[in-house]
Amino acid sequence: MFTGEEKVSGELIYKGRILNLRVDRVRLPDGGMALREVVEHAPAVGIIAETGDGGLFLVRQYRYPAGEFLLEIPAGIVEPGEEPAETADRELREETGFKPGALAEVVQFFTSPGFSDERIILFHARELSPAPKECDSDEFMDLVRLDRRQLQDAALSGEIRDSKTLTAIYWFLSR
Amino acid sequence: MFTGEEKVSGELIYKGRILNLRVDRVRLPDGGMALREVVEHAPAVGIIAETGDGGLFLVRQYRYPAGEFLLEIPAGIVEPGEEPAETADRELREETGFKPGALAEVVQFFTSPGFSDERIILFHARELSPAPKECDSDEFMDLVRLDRRQLQDAALSGEIRDSKTLTAIYWFLSR
């Protein structure tokens, strides 16, 4: 039976806008020591937003760290004091102009557990109805609607190159 | 039509063992300026390792940034000079003690495109045969074999909490 790694000391390298960087010294299960570089990031939500005809809303936006435009499910960071379901409701309105009549948590996962604590809570939003769109001034995105067949093609062809979106699409198609 | 974001200047904040942190100043599509925090990380591979009876090999290990044990597909960082397929072959041997008779790329994706350039190349490994196991001294992990039904249960129940592994399992089950 393996045990975990125990923090011995830590140093905050950078405190930023959407992330902090920490380097911790840890004790390994065999008593040895190692350094762990950890990117602290707030939890985020992703929304599997089902359209009336059984497809999904996706958004296309430029992702600077990736250096390319990506087609993704609507998503966003959980703000301080917000419940994840509130974030999902808010981000869906901001990014699609629709609000959900039904919203259910699907699954939670770490995006890069080797170097970050970022966790995504995935929601399934149904019974969408138009809602006043409040777009973040910082966000430039295209709204796209794909039906089941297009989702399958986009996932298999490599057009979808975002982890949470692949998980969301395969979950949706498997139902 | 939206255009991307253009780098104006950048600062290297931290140069580390598995990641670097950079903060860039970028010009937005509307001419405005913004800061982008970018975690540079080498590409990694994940391996959908199919066992003879139609299940998958997974590994359970402590993930310090996540603060918990996670059940994941075998995976690892592409070392300098290595082709991703070579990494997949090496990591599979190191983590499972098996080598693939057939290895095919499935899909590539970004794990956290909002703040990192980390990209995972997912491989499907089949026709596994025993190979001398060379375990990294830094790695402590348990090898687990799950059949299709167990994979489905583990994904739906929330036992799988790793992004690449959920993508891998849903892809595998959808075939």
pLDDT tens column, B2-54: 579 999 999 999 999 999 999 999 999 999 999 999 999 999 999 999 999 99
Give the CA radius of gyration of chain A. Answer: 18
Confidence (pLDDT) at B137: 47
pLDDT at B138 over 90: no
Nearest CB among B109, B115, B138 relative to A18 is that of B115
CA A60 to chain centre: 14
Is the pLDDT assigned to residue B167 strictly greater than 90? yes
Residues of A in contact with B36 (CB under 8 A): 64-65
Among A5, A72, A161, beta carbon nearest to B64: A5
Contact A113 B26 (CB under 8 A): no
Sequence-distant (≥ 6) Cβ neighbours of residue B164 within 8 angstroms: A163, B46, B72, B73, B75, B109, B111, B120, B122
Pick from A163, A36, A93, A7: nearest CA to B166: A163
Interchain proximity A16–B29, CB inside 8 Å:
no
Do the Cβ atoms of A65 and B117 come within 8 Å? yes
Q: What mean pLDDT comes out for the span B115-135?
A: 91
- The DSSP symbol for A137 reads T
Instruction: Tell me the per-residue pLDDT of B73-100, one tens digit each, with 9 for 90 and over.
Output: 999 999 999 999 999 999 999 999 999 9
pLDDT of residue A137: 47
Mark yes or no for CB contact A17/B37 under 8 Å: yes
Q: Among A3, A37, A173, whose Cβ lies nearest the Cβ of B18? A: A37
Element (H, E) at B154: helix B148-157
Every domain of chain A and the residues it spans: 6-40, 42-173
Bridging pattern class, strands B44-49 and B119-126: parallel
Q: Which residue in B14, B164, B174 is closest to A21 by CB distance?
A: B14
In chain A, residues with a C-beta closer than 8 Å to the C-beta of B44 are 114
DSSP annotation of A30: T
Mutate to test the interface with B, among A106, A167, A169 (most CBs of B within 10 A): A167
Give the pLDDT means over successive 10-residue stretches in chain A (175 positions). Answer: 85 98 96 96 98 95 97 97 97 95 98 98 97 65 96 96 97 91
The CATH homologous superfamily for domain B43-173 is Nucleoside Triphosphate Pyrophosphohydrolase (3.90.79.10)
Q: Can you give the pTM of this predicted structure? A: 0.94
What DSSP character marks residue A28? -
Distance from C-alpha of A143 to C-alpha of A60, rounded to nearest angstrom: 7
Q: Is the pLDDT of residue B133 over 80?
A: no
The whole-number pLDDT of residue A175 equals 85
- pLDDT recorded at residue A3: 77
CA distance A106 to A121: 8
**A65–B107 CB contact, under 8 Å:** no
CATH class for the domain made up of A42-173: alpha beta
Q: Look up the ipTM and state it.
A: 0.94
